[in-house]
Amino acid sequence: MRARPLRLPRRLYAFLLTLSCVCGSGLTACGTGGQYGYTRTYEPLLSEKGHFEQAQELPYEQVKTTPYDYKTTEVAWFGVVDSMSDLPDGQAQLELEVRTHQARHLCGDEYEDSCRLTVSQTTTGKFTVRMKLKPDEKKGKERVWVGSLLKIYGRPTGDYDEAGNPVLDVTYYRHWPRGTYVTTAQRSAMKR
């Protein structure tokens, strides 16, 4: 007679996964919902917390109209990478489409680990950043690339890119590779 494999209840499995994530990361890489925030509402990482508490989520048009007025203000925007290129100094230049964060994330079922960070399907505009990517985000399936979602914390430089979009000087960023977040377009396929 074969022994049946041990099946853990979902909540216990989620707890153990979270515990291993926290212990293995030195308390910096993931919160309750892991690195990609698989929770019903947004939870900042420990390394992000200071930016999260101080940054302002200013309307895009307000900053685009007078970026120089906000040079000392840390702005927080979600953006989907529209294009990117490498710069000679080892940094990357990214053009991002601003997306509005949905306070209540979409979930696949009643369990929190099925929830995905949710942003609007449509954009309100574009902005440009120049930043140094982390080594593990330059190659592989979790790299920063077209379609990646970033939460950018940064200060407007007062300048515009070639297309007339505001440029932000990045102070901190958080990355979600394609497939680790959803847009409001998935609302019909996911429960709330």
CATH number at 158 reads 2.40.50.140
The pLDDT mean for the chain works out to 86
Q: Tell me if 170 is assigned to some domain.
A: yes
pLDDT greater than 90 at residue 18? no
Q: What is the pTM of this model?
A: 0.82
Q: Which of 187, 170, 27, 14 is nearest to 105 (CA)?
A: 187
In terms of residue numbers, what domain contains 151?
10-186
Least confident residue range of 4-13, 55-64, 106-115, 166-175: 4-13
pLDDT greater than 90 at residue 171? yes
- 107, 37 contact by CB (below 8 A): no
Q: Tell me if 95 is assigned to some domain.
A: yes
pLDDT greater than 90 at residue 154? yes
SS3 47: coil
Longest Cα–Cα distance of the chain, Å, equals 74
pLDDT greater than 50 at residue 15? no
Q: Tell me if 150 is assigned to some domain.
A: yes
* Number of domains into which the chain is organized: 1
Distance separating the N- and C-terminal Cα atoms of the chain: 43
Task: Kindly state the helix (H) or strand (E) to which residue 169 belongs, with its residue range.
Answer: strand 166-176
